[in-house]
Amino acid sequence: MTPSVTSATVTAAGPRLAEPRGELSATVTTALRSNGVPEYSPGAVLTADPWGDDLQLALYLLYELHYRGFDGVDDAREWDPELLRLRQAMESRFLHALATELSDAPRSVTEAFAPLLVEELDPVGSLSHHLERKGEFWQLREYAALRSLYHLKEADPHAWVIPRLRGRAKAAMVAIEYDEFGAGRADRIHARLFAELMEDLGLDPTYGRYLDHAPAPLLATVNLMSLFGLHRSHRGALVGHFACVEVTSSPGSRRLAKAMRRCGAGPAAEHFYAEHVEADAVHEQVVRHEVIDGLLADEPSLEADIAFGCAATVHLEDRLAAYIGAAWAEGRSALRTPLEEP
């Protein structure tokens, strides 16, 4: 007997689509809502600001189809050839802008990572230093709302590299990801811990809730991971990105844990970052000496790609920090729409 289809087989609703911010993002949202073909002017991508809200949001929406999708959008649109064609054009524009701004970036792993292994006492523009020393509660909430677009999918973009590695690099990468996904315990998944942090801060932990609030510099940091993760040709860059995150995470998390404690944010808020201090100190050693070294032993031609992934990560994080820091220095919100009071 053929089983009948019941409501239990229907995929749970994803987040809602964001409001468009220009022609490209309007093209994507309209196509997804109508289940139709994306329609846009011939020069729309070529003339779009690669760092602007419109292109970055359009890319984010298309990438999200590979994660949880959107409420009311057919899951089959993930591989729609017309949407993929538009995505490829926008990716090329984004990557060209990155490569142009990083034309003098290091091309060796040693050069790329050397500055990250020495912690500056008082770095200019560091958000974690600011939040540790004099950050206010409203700034902690804004920071968490923005970072939720990554942390609620933490480790997912990097998991795409696993089938593209082998041997030593793969084994080490899986070991790190195992920790990120809770080491077999659902309550220890890092995305779950971040959701609890958000609740302590009076934020809505719903996946994708703060997409409309997020400015382009934040979207670009998440898009970079998705872009690298979805393309086998960028496997080296994704490893470079992952290594950069792990190398810089422990000291930054230590400062953010202190910031949460100083502002009385709550035990879950402090715990999320305290958890990363010790775990990521271990992960840093594994990713540098096992994942990177293992990958280079297998594919030495990927060294420049690994270095580029690291440099691109630092570059986009610096852009984001400058954007947020400028807003906070003026006493205003860094979000496109300020948060509601908790």
Predicted TM-score (pTM) of the model is 0.93
Q: How far apart are CA 28 and CA 58, in angstroms?
A: 6
Of 91, 86, 21, nearest in space to 54 by CA: 21
pLDDT score at 12? 52
pLDDT score at 9? 27
Single-letter residue type at 29: T
Name the 3-class secondary structure at 235.
Answer: helix
Spatial CB neighbours of 239, under 8 Å, sequence gap ≥ 6: 161, 165, 169, 173, 287, 291, 292, 295, 302, 306, 309
Tokens 């400015």 sit at which residue? 215
Please report the domains of the chain, with CATH numbers, ordered by start residue. Answer: 10-101 (no CATH), 109-329 (1.20.910.10)
Of 339, 144, 338, 309, nearest in space to 228 by CA: 309
pLDDT score at 5? 34
* Separation in Å, CA 76 to CA 69, 89, 218, 302: 10, 21, 27, 33
Q: How far apart are CA 217 and CA 323, in angstroms?
A: 7
pLDDT score at 342? 79
Which residue numbers in the chain have pLDDT < 70? Answer: 1-12, 120-122, 124
pLDDT score at 119? 72
Of 317, 242, 289, 309, nearest in space to 108 by CA: 309
Of 255, 233, 253, 228, nearest in space to 313 by CA: 228
Q: How far apart are CA 20 and CA 53, in angstroms?
A: 9
pLDDT score at 122? 61
Q: Is 184 exposed, middle or buried (0-12, 13-18, 19+ CB in 10 A)?
A: exposed
Assigned token pair, 261:
């404690």
